[in-house]
Every structure is written in structure tokens, then in C-alpha cells.
Structure 1
Amino acid sequence: MNAKILTQSTHFQSTTVRPTMQRTLMMSMIALSMGGMSVAAQAQTQQQKEIEQLRQEVQALRGLIEQQKVQNAQTATAIANVQRTAAAPVANPVLKTAKGAEFNLYGNVRLDASYQVEGGAKDMPYNQINGVPLEGNKEQSDRLRSTLSATRLGLDFKSPVGEQDVKGKLEVDFLGGANLDNLRIRHAYLNYGNWLIGQTWSNFAIPDYMPETIDALAYVGGAVKRTPQVRYTTKFSPQTNLVVAAEDPKDSSINQRLPALTARLNHQFADNLNVSVRAMGHEKRINSEEEMAWGVGVGAKYDVVPGTTLKADYYHVKGDSSFVSFTNKGVVAQADGSLLQSEFDSIMVGITQKFSDKIHGTLGYGYMSFDENQSYTNILKNSFPKDSTQSDATRANKELWQGWANIFYSPRKPLSFGLEYVYGERTALEAVNGSKTGEDNRINAVAIYNF
């Protein structure tokens, strides 16, 4: 009985314990499952964080790589520049005088040649349009002329004085004297601040707006005048300045007692358009008689497109022959001592085209017209130069014109070669043997070595 009771008790316990253990096992499995899901979720979240961190690190690494590329390119460019600078010769080597002034030496060796079909009598290959023989009167035909007189030597220098530098230029060539074969001063001046003292281009008759020519003396309507002067420049803005000067124009036809006064207003309307307006006044004195000569000028330079440039220059002048080239006498004396003045208009226009880095050329035209004044002409008719049987009226002109075309070729620096054709005519105030027209018909060539 006891055994039976024990058996029943054991069965009861077994029956009771088994469901409990099953529930516990199930609960454990559920807990494990939920724990596993939690761990998996945490693992997934951690993985996403790691991926995002890795992505950020990759982006940062890319930034560093790009920055390093830029630095490498800059370093390579700097090295190339240093190497290029070290390898290339200095364009303007700076030298020093014994007193410490710095200067640069420059210049050229220039050969000019001209085959003259018809032209002037002077033995030089440069422009003589205002004095070419009239048709049928000892014309100068089929002549070859050459010279190296335009060979040039110059110094640019500067020296510190106080808080500023004194700058200057000294430049000479061999186009001086009656036959244009003597040494002469082209430029010799000092610059200090806004002041210039010395000899350089006239403030009134400037060459900036002349179309390019091979001829060293330029063509009708142009001016290559250099005068001793005192000049002051006032700058109103980066685009506008005013230049005033007292000049000695070296007018040998008068008794000069006062300098010429000139003014020039320069303005840049745009990057491709520059304009200059100019004025001049000068007392002309013969014996005790006086007249005031005056003139105005307007010049413009316009870059139509890169490589194509238009230039134009206009003058109206009364009573002066010392600034603009190829003019009649500015003033003459009448029998009673009173003075008569010549008056003229001139214009020069041209277009320059750059075909390549080595080739460019210019087409140009110049015209000059003098007002007719019979009293002025009569005075010249009665005046005969010592070296001629012709009166000044046959040497003075009513009209002048010239047209030209040229091309320049620079195979490599510092060499340059040019070829030019020019044709022009003059109409005299008075005829010689029934002719009033003279002809200028030439082919010009030049070879230049710049240093």
C-alpha cells in the first residue's frame, strides 16, 4: 500500500512538474528568441552606424585627395615657372652706374631701302612728298636708295630721390643733319612724379594715332615731332588724364621769344577705344610784327576685334609749320611788314591686321589740304630760294595725299622684316612749265634687329 501511495505520489509529481517545465522551457525559448531579435537589431543598427562612419571617412579621404591634387598642380606650376625663368634670358637686364642709378640698354640695327619709281631729289629712302618734282621738271626716276641712319641706341634709367624715383630716357639715332646721316638726339628727358623735363614727343603732334609705316618720317597727315619741353600730367581717373606743356618747336621761320603752349586730354572709353583731344597756341613774330598761331587735333584708336585695329588722326592748324609734317610755311611777311598765315586740314586713317604671331600688315591713307589765299601765294611767287630758280609758290602745295600698304614678318625675335608700297601726289600752288602735279611712287623695305 505504501508502495502504491508512493507510486501515485510520484506520478502526481511527474504529472505536475512536466507542464511547469514545458512552460519554463517555452518562456526561455521566447526570451532567447526575443533576445536574439534584440541583438540582431542592435547589430544591424551598429552596422548602419559603421557604414555611415565609413562613408564619411571615404568622403573626407576624397577631399584630402582632391586637395593634394591641387597642391601638386600648384607645385608643378611653380617649379615650371622657376625653371622657365631660370632658363630664359632676362628681357631687360638691369645695370648700375657708379653712383647707383639703374639702367637698361636697348636699341636696334636697322637697314632701310627704297626703289623709287618717281620721287624726291634728296638722297634718302624716306618721304619727300611735299617737295617731289612736278611732272616734266627734272623728275627723279628709277633710283635705289638705302641707309642705316635709323639705327637706334637708347638707355632707360632710374634713381631713387626721396620717396620717389627719378626716371628718364636717353635715345639717339643717325637721322640728323641736312642729309639725315648725322648723330642726333631723339629723346632725352627726366620724369619725376607728374613732371617731365627734356626732349620727347610733342604734346600736340603725337605719333600714337598714326597707322604703322615702314617710312621713318611717316606720311601725309602724320607728325614725328620731338621738342624740348616742360610737361605736367594731371590724372582725373584711371581712364582720363590731362597733359599740359610749354614747348620749343624750333620754328626757324620766325624770331621766337615765347614757347608754344600745348594741352592734351586723353580718355579711354572702353578697353578697345582710346581718344585724344589736343590744342596748341604759339606766338609767331617776324621783326616787330606778331600773329598767334593755333591748332587743334583729334586722334582715336579702336580695336574692332582682337587682331584688327583702326587708327585715325586729324589736325586743323593756322599759322604754324613746325608741328605737323610736310606743311607750307606757317607765316610770311608782306611788303608792309604785316603777316599772313597759312591754314590747313589734314587727316590720316589706317587699319592694321594681325594675321598670326609672326605676320601683320597695314593699309593707310593720308590727306592734307591748304586754304587758298591769293595774297599768301603772291608773296611766295616773289620769293626765290638761294639754291633754286623756282619760287616758293612752286614748292608750296595746295593738296597732298598718299596711300600705302605694308606687311611685316618676324620669323623669330629679335628679327623683323617689312615690305611696303606707297603712292602719292602733290598739287602745287603755282605751275612749273604748265604742270602743278608731282608724283611719289616707291617700294620700301626694312630689316631690323632689335636688342
Structure 2
Amino acid sequence: MAYARNNLLKGILLSATILGASPAWAQNSDVDARLDRLEALVNGLIERLDAKEANQGATASGDAEVAREAQRTLQASRRLAERTARVEQKVAEQAAVTQKITEQTDAADGFNVGKTRVTYGGYVKLDVITERTSGGQVPSGSIARDFLIPGAIPVGGEASGFDTDFSARQTRFFLKTETDVGDDHKIGSHIELDFMVTSGGDERISNSFAPRVRQAYITFDNWLFGQTWSTFQDVAALPEAMDFIGPTPGTVFDRQPMIRYTKGGFQIALEQPETTITTPAGARIVAGDDSLPDIVVRYNHQGDFGHLTAAAIGRILRVNEDDFGLIDDSSFGYGISLSGKLNVGERDDFKFMATAGEGLGRYIGLNIVNDAAVRADGSLTPIATYSGFAAYRHFWSEKWRSTISGSYFKADNPVLLTTGLVTDQSWNIFGNLVYSPVAPLDIGIEYMFAKRQIEDGTSGNLQKVQMSAKYKF
């Protein structure tokens, strides 16, 4: 009997210890009830053993002591269970807070649609532009009043007054997706719209403009299919400007459909071909007879210093007599471009680009000159061009910064084939001051001076003051 009683008491002690120490059981709603039943059982045993102790001596006394030990263990187990429950409650509360923070972060980064993650961004921008041209009036509603187009600066005419335009059409929106397809593959897309260089409203009533596709492409692992910035252009080298582009005469600037492969810093792309030609009368022909894509190879090197980019392009310029009578020829165009961003001090930077080649016309400065000219026999001669820019950005403080920039373009036109009315050279300088009261908001003012000279020596300039407010989201 004594042996059985001891085993029973040992079982009670073991049960109490397990119930009190187990974190999983401490969260169970019936733990207290189990401890209550065990405690009642021990109390009953103690009462009976105390009664026997007077009659049976030491044996009953020993049993009673074991029962009291069980009672003490139960009490300790109850305290342990209560502490464990409080710890588990705190852990659960912290997990809930963490989950809420995660959900808020996820919401800020986008949202899920099935297996697809969708993110978005862009900016809203207001521009107030006051400009004057020395060589003629730029018509109201012309895109040449929205941003600098070097080839459209008037020459040889009467100076205009200062014309002022308000516009929000540079506002931009993009949508990105990433879909989980498993098997270690990555697939995504990018669609981007703005309202520049499109038809639509007027300045009298609605000031509304139709949206246009800026970029639309698919990415699959290292591949890109669709329309984006030309691989020949280093977008990251463009300086901060209130103008739509800024150092326009000296920069490569082109978006077009392509197939691109990227491996580390190396890129190779097959891009949309398009040949622009200057006729002996000085007119521009967009041939549309191209049969082979433009080929671009590029290498990007990044480090703590900033980044450097080298790119080369090869093109087949082509025009067919089916469209333009006696003009039927093809020629080879090529070019190289070096660009980059160099960090200066803690926050300042220096950006630059230098580009040279033959048959690059439509890639430079918004097609300042054409790719080629037509000889008398109908054959093509590529036009050589040289261009570049440099820009320095300085941070006066965390909220104030400025950029100064200068750019230059020069064409080696075969004047006997193009006449003296095509652009020989163009350059511009600008400086700005930008204030960011909070990180997503920029408020800036910029002064720009630009000049264009044609082959016969006639020139014209543009002076522009631009104020902008831009909210990035």
C-alpha cells in the first residue's frame, strides 16, 4: 500500500511539473482546471494521511510529508504556469505588432494579385516656363515651348518677347509587376505613361493632353523585351534639371523597342532601326526601309566612386527606291559613348558624357541633324557628329542643392549635299536651385541659355527661366 501511495504521489508531482513548465500547455484554457483537480486530490490525501499519522506512526508521517511536497510542487507549478502564460501573451502581442508593421510595409510597396506583386510610382509636376528666342517666335502650343529642342531654336528672324506657359503635362506614372513562376525564374513588366508631346487640350479651357507610352517592356531572368531607354544611352548620367532633359545638345537620348540581354555589367541589344536622311533641298526623310536592327554593346562598372559606362553602336542606314525614286542605298553607321557619375565628397557628384560617330543623328540631342545625306547619284553618306556634356551638383544642406551644367553638339555636314540651312552646332548652359522641404517634394528654379547655329553662319538663342514643383511617389 505504501508503495502504491508513493507512486501515486510521484505521478501527481510529475503531472504538476509538466503542466506548469510546458509553454504549449500554459496557453491551454483548461490548465487551471487540471491544476485545481490535482490540488484537491493532494489536499484530500493530506487530510487522510494526517488522520492516519496519529494511529500508524512514522509510515503515515512519511506519506504525509510526501503529500505536502506534492502540494508545494503544485503551488510552484501554478506560479510557473501563470508566468509562462504572461510571457506567451507578450510574445503574441509582439507578433501581432510585427505582423501589422509587415502588412503596412507590404501595402506601401504595392499589393498582390494572385502570384503577382504589383507596385507603382511616378510623380506629379507643375512647370512654369518663361522664355525668349532671339531668332523668331515659337508658336503657342508648340512642343518647343515645353522643353529645349536644340534643332527647333529659331534663327534669322525677329526676336520674340518673353512668353509664359504653365503646364502639368510632364506628370508621369508607372506600374510594375513581378510574378512568382517558381523554378528559380524571375518574370516582370514595366508600363510607364506621361503626357508630353501629345495632342489634346488647349490653353484656353481644358489644358488636357492624351497620355502616351514611354516605356513598356517584359523582363525574364536576364532578358528584356519591349520599349525602354536605348542601351546606347546612360540615363543615370543625366543631371538634375527643371527642363525635361537638361543638357539636350550633348546627350544621347532615345527610347525604342528592343531585345536586350544583361549579364553582370555587360549588355547587348538588338534595337529598332530607323534612318533619317537629309535631301539636297535640306528636307528630312524618315525612310522606314530598314531591314536590320541597330546593335548596341555596353559595359557598366560600379563602385564606391560612382559608375562608368562605355557603349558602342553599329547601324545599317538604308533607303529604298520603292519609296523615294532614285534614292536606293545603304551605308554603315557607328558610334561610341563614354559616360558616368563620380561621387564628390559626401553628397556632391559630377556627371558627364562624350559621344562621337557617324550616322548617329537621331540618337543625339533629339535628332538635331539626320543620320545621312544623299549624294547626287542616290547613294548615302553618313553625317559625323560630336557631342558631350558635364554637370556638377552641390548640396548646400540637406534641403538645398544646385546643379550647373554645360553641353555641346557639333555636326560635320557635307554642305554640298545638305545646303547651309542645317544645324552646324548647338550648345547650352543652365544652373538651378532646388529646395526639398520634405523628401518627396522638390521646388526649384532654373535659368538656361541655349544657342543654335546653322551651316551658313546664321544663329539664334533661347533664354529660359523655369520654376517647377514636383512630388515623387
Deviation at 1:424, TM superposition (A): 1.7
User: Which residue in 2 is equivalent to 1:213?
Assistant: 241
Report 1:305-324 matches (<5 A).
305-324=345-364
User: Which residue in 2 is equivalent to 1:112?
Assistant: 127
Q: In 2, are the aligned partners of 1:266 and 1:276 still within 8 Å (CA)?
A: yes
User: Which residue in 2 is equivalent to 1:155?
Assistant: 175
Q: Which one of 193, 200, 205 corresponds to residue 172 of structure 1?
A: 193
**TM-score, normalising length from structure 1?**
0.71
What amino acid is the match of 1:110? K
CA distance in 1, matches of 2:428, 2:194: 26
Q: In 2, are the aligned partners of 1:249 and 1:322 still within 8 Å (CA)?
A: no
Secondary structure class of the residue paired with 1:442: strand
The reply to whether residue 93 of structure 1 matches residue 109 of structure 2 is yes
CA distance in 1, matches of 2:161, 2:370: 27
Q: Which one of 400, 412, 417 corresponds to residue 379 of structure 1?
A: 417
Deviation at 1:165, TM superposition (A): 2.4
The reply to whether residue 414 of structure 1 matches residue 440 of structure 2 is yes
What amino acid is the match of 2:345? V
Sequence identity percentage = 24
Deviation at 1:231, TM superposition (A): 0.4
User: Which residue in 1 is equivalent to 2:258?
Assistant: 229
What amino acid is the match of 1:205? Q
Deviation at 1:358, TM superposition (A): 1.6
Report 1:69-80 matches (<5 A).
none
What amino acid is the match of 1:107? G
Q: In 2, are the aligned partners of 1:227 and 1:250 still within 8 Å (CA)?
A: no
Deviation at 1:298, TM superposition (A): 0.2
Secondary structure class of the residue paired with 2:196: strand
Deviation at 1:351, TM superposition (A): 0.5
CA distance in 2, matches of 1:284, 1:358: 48
User: Which residue in 2 is equivalent to 1:444?
Assistant: 466
Deviation at 1:414, TM superposition (A): 2.8
Deviation at 1:312, TM superposition (A): 0.7
Deviates more, 1:194-203 or 1:111-120: 111-120
User: Which residue in 1 is equivalent to 2:21?
Assistant: none
Question: How many equivalent residue pairs?
Answer: 347
1:188-214 Cα offsets, whole Å, 9 max, x none, are: 111111111111111002322122211
User: Which residue in 2 is equivalent to 1:364?
Assistant: 405
CA distance in 2, matches of 1:246, 1:187: 16
CA distance in 2, matches of 1:299, 1:217: 16
Deviates more, 1:339-348 or 1:218-227: 218-227
Deviation at 1:102, TM superposition (A): 1.3
Q: In 1, are the aligned partners of 2:150 and 2:365 still within 8 Å (CA)?
A: no
Q: Which one of 369, 375, 378 corresponds to residue 334 of structure 1?
A: 375
CA distance in 1, matches of 2:200, 2:364: 20
1:383-408 Cα offsets, whole Å, 9 max, x none, are: xxxxxxxxxx42x2111110110121
CA 110–428 in structure 1, closer or farther in 2 if over 3 Å, else same: same
Q: In 2, are the aligned partners of 1:286 and 1:333 still within 8 Å (CA)?
A: no
CA distance in 1, matches of 2:389, 2:147: 18
Q: In 2, are the aligned partners of 1:155 and 1:170 still within 8 Å (CA)?
A: yes
Q: In 2, are the aligned partners of 1:308 and 1:354 still within 8 Å (CA)?
A: yes
1:254-313 Cα offsets, whole Å, 9 max, x none, are: 321111000111113x41132111000111111230001111000121112111101110
* Structure with more of its chain in helix, by fraction: 2
CA 115–281 in structure 1, closer or farther in 2 if over 3 Å, else same: same
Q: In 1, are the aligned partners of 2:317 and 2:333 still within 8 Å (CA)?
A: yes
CA distance in 1, matches of 2:445, 2:252: 22
Q: In 2, are the aligned partners of 1:116 and 1:441 still within 8 Å (CA)?
A: yes
User: Which residue in 1 is equivalent to 2:228?
Assistant: 200
Deviation at 1:329, TM superposition (A): 1.1
Q: In 1, are the aligned partners of 2:402 and 2:431 still within 8 Å (CA)?
A: yes
CA distance in 2, matches of 1:206, 1:400: 21
Gaps of 5+ in 1: 1-74, 236-240, 382-392
CA distance in 1, matches of 2:99, 2:401: 32
Q: Which one of 256, 274, 287 corresponds to residue 307 of structure 2?
A: 274
